[in-house]
Structure 1
Amino acid sequence: MKYIPFILFTVLTNAAAQLMLKQGMLSLGPLTFTAETAVARIFQVLFNPWVFAGLVTFAISMISHLFVLSKVELSFAYPFLSLAYVAVAVFAYFVFREDLNAWRIAGIALICVGTFFIAQSGRSSESHAPEAAAKGTSTETKDIRSAA
């Protein structure tokens, strides 16, 4: 549970990156490519300030996620990224005036409930960790034993 703030930082930077990318693409308008303009158009997209900021924010989010993965189980950390869907939907509603209908709200509620259950699983494994370590049955010990 002590890594939840880092996980939430990853979620928020991931969501912020999505919002920046959307703003950048709105400022550019619909993309059209021709053989003559494809390379110039790609550079125009990449160096749009909003798109560039979104890509940098994605890189920060990925670095944060790598830190989290070095500390907690993937099956615990990864589902939290679904909260980025929640944040994006809510902010898109307020910032971009996107539709937030009953189906989307129901989906968001299910995501929140599922993430809550996963967070609880992390709490129970932390409470058993000292017992397992005292018995010499930590995950690392099991992995070493099975490798031998």
Structure 2
Amino acid sequence: MNSNIPLILFTVLTNAAAQLMLKRGMTTGVGNLDVANDGLISTVFRVVFNPFVFAGLCTFVISMASHLIVLSKVQISYAYPFLSLAYVVVAVYAYFVFQEDLSPARIAGIGFIVLGTIFIAQS
């Protein structure tokens, strides 16, 4: 196994975690945005200082830092496709936690993503 796989997977998982925190913050803490009535500055502060959104943004910074480390070690054509696994993690989590739809087409797409990532990992 490539010794960089754990760091690549850490990048994938932190990327997915950031997305999920942002979703939680925007749906449970912030709600619908009305910039026209609330004002741009007020809206930005309300969004950024929501605990889940703030944690999601911080997690994105960690994810990007680990991705930069990965890029310093492996070819981008090898590392970048692994980020598609974040979609798999997010889709499965969203299905079970947010009760979002996971249609047969999405399931097939997830299968192709996983299969493609396996092929890339073997190269």
TM-score range, shorter chain: over 0.9
Residue identity opposite 2:69 in structure 1: F
Name the CA distance, whole Å, in 2 between partners of 1:74 and 1:9. 16
- Identity, in percent, stands at 66
Match of 2:114 among 109, 112, 115: 112
- Aligned match of 1:10: 11
Residue in 2 aligned with 1:25?
26
1:66 aligns with one of 58, 61, 68: 68
Flag the structure with larger Rg.
1
Q: Which of 97, 100, 115 is residue 99 of structure 2 equivalent to?
A: 97
Distance 2:34 2:112 in 1: 37
1:36 is displaced (CA, Å) by 5.6
For 1:18, give the aligned amino acid.
Answer: Q
Q: Which of structure 1's runs of 4+ aligned residues deviate more than 2 A? A: none
Alpha-carbon offset, residue 74 of structure 1: 0.4
Q: Counterpart of 1:30 in 2: which secondary structure? A: coil
Aligned mates of 1:10, 1:36 — CA distance in 2: 35
Aligned match of 2:36: 34
Report what 2:86 is aligned to. Answer: 84
Equivalences, count:
121
For structure 1, the residue ranges without an aligned partner over 5 or more in a row are: 122-148
The AA in structure 2 aligned to 1:31 is L
Q: CA deviation at 1:35?
A: 6.2
| Paired AA for residue 15 in structure 1 | A
TM-score normalised over the length of structure 2: 0.96
Question: Structure 2: 5+ residue runs without aligned partners?
Answer: none
CA separation of 1:34 and 1:77: change in aligned 2, threshold 3 A = same
For 1:39, give the aligned amino acid.
I
Decide whether aligned partners of structure 1 residues 120 and 46 sit closer, same or farther in structure 2, where only a CA change above 3 A counts. Answer: same
Partner SS state of residue 70, structure 1: helix
Letter of the structure 2 residue corresponding to residue 26 of structure 1: T
Q: TM-score, normalised by structure 1?
A: 0.80
Could you say which structure has the greater relative contact order, defined with CA pairs below 8 angstroms and 6 or more residues apart?
Answer: 2
